[in-house]
RNA sequence: CGAGGUGUAGCGCAGUUUGGUAGCGCGCUUGGUUCGGGACCAAGAGGCCAUGGGUUCAAAUCCCGUCACCUCGACCA
């Protein structure tokens, strides 16, 4: 490929609205162009990377006996009504009508299509287990796309579905899929990624893992135990319960606290008492319930985990506005709390609480020495707390750390949610009809590409791992107007292509610095320079993008040398 | 969906307060001189100033509406 003919605008200045590295650099290097919010065109270099990622995924899926299929982007409403998701999913699912007024949806995931496809074709347990997958366009009408290709509305995704007779068999296959994912991410050149236990959300099912690239720009929060290796998404993570020190229960007392309302204000007002000696109240409304106010009580130094609270309440929660409420915002406490239309949820952290400070349910007053079991009683408590760094690991007791990550893939043990609702059965060995147990496994291709970019890019630009680089070599022609240089580069270009090396040749009449900068920006792993100077000594120069290492190499050996370096730089797993 | 911000040439921006014939840098075209870390000179091309309505002799600029994009939050298999 000649860079002079490559379509895609490279710019020296960064787009002002791109905030993260991968987004900014992929635009600057001419890889992607925005079409509409969360909808992108990929230029040739980005498409080449995507294809390479897809091929690595394909190899690993085939290696665990996957069968590549293709399911439709557009599906009829009826199919999604069978699973119940036509109504249970919100606006992310795009619904529209065809010319005959028939309701259609755009596929955001393909459990329905996979089950519809498999249920008639498969009748016997002897045909199980099997896995079918596809690499195809998905559309999800996200509320807020962001970060270039990190979070988009239209994207290419590999989605796989496995079907099993027993839970044991699913678990065995799940482990294989887990290992395949690990290989995929390593092969595409990702380094700092981990698998975490996660919330299975709208997919249903029980056990699920998310593969996360650890990076400060990630939108997911992960709780990690450096000691025992526990890794969980914040949505499901818990810390070990902490017992209260045994101390004498002092008499409860009312105190004037004035305008101090938030925990930080109250602790300060009371002479910097520790926040963990206070009780925090957070109020919510349940979506679709116009009557009740939820008051969640938690130890003052902790935060409410709304994902967990949602599960306790079995409904969506939104922060409550307390204007015209019976509650005294800022002074809410568990002692003599008004009861009408109030739902109280206690966090486990308040069990056995001793000598705490809480709101007095009275403007400008708090209570001191509030004791659980004496001044108020917890009949039932839940884990609704967010883990904060330094809290104890529930497994080994070591202090936990909290990091951000980008979700680059996920695997779910789905169970029979779809095979039951969509009536897929096979006969087992006893001749009895059973619902196969499913697993599903997804990887976003564009997000994987952006994630690698995010991890590998430096101040000069992108920096692709050899295995997914759009071209292996950037053949930089200094003085293409020099006939000797021109002849040599044409010869090298042809020889490299013959040897299976992908070459992007910079044949433009530009200065050396200009070309070097473009090469660095585009992130091509190897740079091969041919110039009048080098031609005198019958050598060319090979520079490795990632290490900055420069190798001067006789022309005759260039091709072999590059093949060797290319091989050395490719992550080999199997 | 809530809060804030921004829309002027392909990209980055000035001009808006105080209305008066649309500017700069990069990039692009042509010619010349350069040539190993984003060269220089000269001459060019390119914009209904997001959009619809108002006010005015006159609107990028003032007023009202709409849309798009960005950030934070909510949501997110």
pTM for the whole structure: 0.92
Q: Which nucleotide is nearest to A550 (CA to C1')?
A: B36
The rounded radius of gyration (Å) of the Cα atoms in chain A is: 30
- Give the residue-averaged pLDDT of A393-404: 91
| A22-CA/B33-C1' distance, Å | 39
- Give the residue-averaged pLDDT of A341-354: 90
A37 touches strand B (CB under 7 A): yes
| A257-CA/B6-C1' distance, Å | 43
Give the per-residue pLDDT at A203: 47
Q: Are residues A420 and A551 in the same domain?
A: no
Number of CB atoms found within 10 A of residue A121's CB: 9
A147 touches strand B (CB under 7 A): yes
A16 touches strand B (CB under 7 A): yes
How many domains in chain A? 3
What's the CATH code of the domain at A265? 3.90.960.10
Range in A71-75, A210-214, A259-263 the model is least confident about: A259-263
Q: Are residues A488 and A525 in the same domain?
A: yes
A318 touches strand B (CB under 7 A): yes
Q: How confident is the model at residue A327 (pLDDT cuts 50, 70, 90)?
A: confident
Q: Are residues A267 and A323 in the same domain?
A: yes
| A36-CA/B64-C1' distance, Å | 28
Strand B proximal residues, A:465-494, Cβ < 7 Å: 478-479, 481
Give the per-residue pLDDT at A200: 57
| A37-CA/B72-C1' distance, Å | 18
Minimum-distance residue to B6 (CA–C1'): A17
| A304-CA/B77-C1' distance, Å | 24
A458 touches strand B (CB under 7 A): no
Q: Tell me if residue A315 falls in helix, strand or coil.
A: coil
| A122-CA/B70-C1' distance, Å | 50
- Give the residue-averaged pLDDT of A343-350: 90
Does A530 fall in a domain?
A: yes
pLDDT, chain A, mean: 91
Q: Residue A129 pLDDT more than 50?
A: yes
Q: Residue A526 pLDDT more than 80?
A: yes
pLDDT in tens, A44-76: 999 999 999 999 999 999 999 999 999 999 999
Q: How confident is the model at residue A201 (pLDDT cuts 50, 70, 90)?
A: low
Q: Are residues A517 and A447 in the same domain?
A: no
Give the per-residue pLDDT at A520: 96
Give the per-residue pLDDT at A205: 53
pLDDT in tens, A430-474: 999 999 999 999 999 999 999 999 999 999 999 999 999 999 999
Q: Are residues A233 and A268 in the same domain?
A: no
Report residue A115 as tokens: 């089950």
Give the per-residue pLDDT at A532: 93
Cβ neighbours for A171, distance < 8 A, ≥ 6 positions apart: A413
Does A162 fall in a domain?
A: yes
More confident residue, A382 or A184: A184
Q: Are A156 and A137 in contact (CB under 8 A)?
A: yes
Minimum-distance residue to B37 (CA–C1'): A513
Does A153 fall in a domain?
A: yes
Minimum-distance residue to B12 (CA–C1'): A13
Q: Are A65 and A130 in contact (CB under 8 A)?
A: yes
Q: Which nucleotide is nearest to A515 (CA to C1')?
A: B38
Does A3 fall in a domain?
A: no
Does A490 fall in a domain?
A: yes
Cα gap A170→A415, rounded to integer Å: 9
Does A80 fall in a domain?
A: no
Strand B proximal residues, A:117-146, Cβ < 7 Å: 138, 140, 142-146
Give the per-residue pLDDT at A323: 63
What's the CATH code of the domain at A488? 3.40.50.800
| A411-CA/B8-C1' distance, Å | 48
Query: Max alpha carbon distance in chain A (Å)?
Result: 97
Q: Are residues A193 and A61 in the same domain?
A: yes
Structural domain of A200: 17-71+107-237+403-454
Q: Are residues A26 and A150 in the same domain?
A: yes
| A459-CA/B29-C1' distance, Å | 32
Q: Are A46 and A26 in contact (CB under 8 A)?
A: yes
- Give the residue-averaged pLDDT of A471-499: 95
Does A425 fall in a domain?
A: yes
Give the per-residue pLDDT at A531: 94
Positions of chain B reached by protein Cβ under 7 A = 1-2, 5, 10-13, 25-27, 34-39, 68-77
Strand B proximal residues, A:377-406, Cβ < 7 Å: none
A151 touches strand B (CB under 7 A): yes
More confident residue, A465 or A202: A465
Strand B proximal residues, A:238-277, Cβ < 7 Å: none
Give the per-residue pLDDT at A314: 78
- Give the residue-averaged pLDDT of A249-274: 87
Q: Are residues A145 and A117 in the same domain?
A: yes
Q: Are residues A230 and A275 in the same domain?
A: no
Does A365 fall in a domain?
A: yes
User: For the sheet containing A103-106, what is the strand order?
Assistant: A74-76, A103-106, A95-97
Minimum-distance residue to B73 (CA–C1'): A144
A34 touches strand B (CB under 7 A): yes
Q: Are strands A293-299 and A342-347 parallel, antiparallel or unpaired?
A: parallel
Q: Are residues A482 and A515 in the same domain?
A: yes
More confident residue, A289 or A68: A68
Strand B proximal residues, A:199-218, Cβ < 7 Å: 200-203
Minimum-distance residue to B13 (CA–C1'): A16
Cα gap A477→A508, rounded to integer Å: 8
A543 touches strand B (CB under 7 A): yes
Q: Are residues A66 and A198 in the same domain?
A: yes
Cα gap A350→A436, rounded to integer Å: 43
Q: How confident is the model at residue A246 (pLDDT cuts 50, 70, 90)?
A: confident
What's the CATH code of the domain at A446? 3.30.930.10
Cα gap A81→A83, rounded to integer Å: 5
Q: Give the CA distances from residue A540 to residues A309, A463, A478, A484, in Å, rounded to whole numbers and listed in that order.
A: 64, 22, 11, 13
Give the per-residue pLDDT at A114: 97
- Name the packing angle between helices A445-456 and A44-63 (round to 10°): 110
A409 touches strand B (CB under 7 A): no
Q: How confident is the model at residue A202 (pLDDT cuts 50, 70, 90)?
A: very low
ipTM value: 0.94
Q: Are residues A258 and A232 in the same domain?
A: no
Give the per-residue pLDDT at A432: 96
- Give the residue-averaged pLDDT of A345-355: 91
A36 touches strand B (CB under 7 A): yes
Q: Which nucleotide is nearest to A414 (CA to C1')?
A: B77
pLDDT in tens, A493-516: 999 999 999 999 999 999 999 999
Q: Which nucleotide is nearest to A18 (CA to C1')?
A: B70
């Amino acid at each position: 490929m000649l860079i002079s003919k490559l379509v895609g605008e490279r710019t020296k200045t960064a787009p002002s609205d791109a905030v993260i590295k991968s987004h900014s650099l992929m635009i600057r290097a001419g890889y992607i162009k925005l079409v509409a919010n969360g909808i992108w065109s990929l230029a040739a270099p980005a498409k080449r990377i995507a294809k390479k990622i897809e091929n690595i995924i394909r190899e690993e899926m085939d290696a665990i006996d996957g069968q590549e299929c293709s399911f439709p982007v557009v599906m009829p409403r009826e199919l999604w009504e069978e699973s119940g998701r036509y109504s249970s999913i919100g606006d992310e699912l795009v619904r529209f009508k065809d010319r005959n007024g028939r309701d259609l949806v755009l596929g955001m995931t393909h459990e329905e299509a996979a089950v519809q496809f498999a249920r008639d074709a498969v009748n016997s347990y002897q045909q199980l287990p099997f896995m079918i997958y596809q690499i195809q366009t998905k559309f999800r009408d996200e509320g807020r796309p962001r970060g270039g290709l990190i979070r988009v509305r239209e994207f290419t995704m590999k989605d796989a579905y496995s079907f099993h007779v027993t839970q044991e068999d699913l678990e065995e296959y799940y482990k294989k899929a887990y290992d395949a994912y690990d290989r995929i991410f390593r092969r595409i050149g990702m380094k700092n990624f981990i698998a975490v236990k996660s919330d299975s959300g709208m997919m249903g099912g029980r056990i699920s893992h998310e593969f996360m690239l650890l990076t400060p720009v990630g939108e997911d929060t992960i709780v990690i135990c450096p000691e025992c290796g526990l890794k969980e998404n914040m949505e499901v993570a818990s810390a070990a319960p902490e017992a209260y020190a045994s101390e004498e229960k002092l008499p409860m007392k009312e105190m004037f606290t004035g305008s101090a309302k938030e925990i930080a204000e109250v602790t300060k007002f009371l002479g910097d008492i520790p926040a963990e000696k206070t009780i925090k109240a957070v109020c919510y409304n349940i979506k679709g319930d116009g009557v009740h106010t939820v008051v969640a009580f938690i130890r003052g130094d902790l935060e409410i985990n709304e994902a967990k609270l949602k599960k306790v309440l079995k409904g969506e929660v939104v922060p409550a506005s307390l204007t015209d409420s019976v509650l005294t915002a800022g002074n809410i406490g568990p002692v003599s709390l008004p009861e009408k239309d109030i739902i109280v949820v206690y966090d486990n952290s308040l069990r056995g609480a001793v000598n705490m400070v809480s709101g007095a349910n009275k403007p400008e007053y708090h209570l001191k020495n509030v004791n659980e079991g004496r001044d108020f009683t917890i009949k039932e408590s839940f884990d609704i707390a967010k883990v904060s760094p330094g809290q104890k690991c529930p497994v080994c007791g070591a202090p936990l750390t909290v990091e951000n990550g980008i979700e680059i893939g996920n695997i779910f043990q789905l169970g029979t949610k779809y095979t039951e609702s969509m009536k897929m059965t096979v006969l087992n060995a006893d001749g009895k009809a059973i619902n196969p147990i499913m697993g599903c496994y997804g990887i976003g291709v564009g997000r994987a590409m952006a994630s690698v970019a995010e991890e590998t890019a430096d101040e000069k630009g992108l920096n692709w791992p050899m295995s997914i680089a759009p071209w292996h070599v950037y053949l930089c022609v200094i003085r293409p107007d020099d006939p000797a240089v021109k002849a040599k580069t044409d010869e090298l270009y042809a020889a490299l292509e013959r040897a299976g090396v992908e070459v992007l040749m910079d044949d433009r009449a530009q200065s050396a610095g200009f070309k070097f900068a473009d090469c660095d920006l585009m992130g091509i792993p190897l740079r091969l320079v041919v110039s009048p100077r080098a031609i005198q000594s019958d050598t060319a120069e090979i520079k490795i993008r990632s290490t900055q290492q420069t190798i001067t190499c006789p022309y005759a050996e260039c091709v072999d040398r590059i093949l060797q370096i290319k091989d050395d730089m490719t992550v080999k797993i199997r």
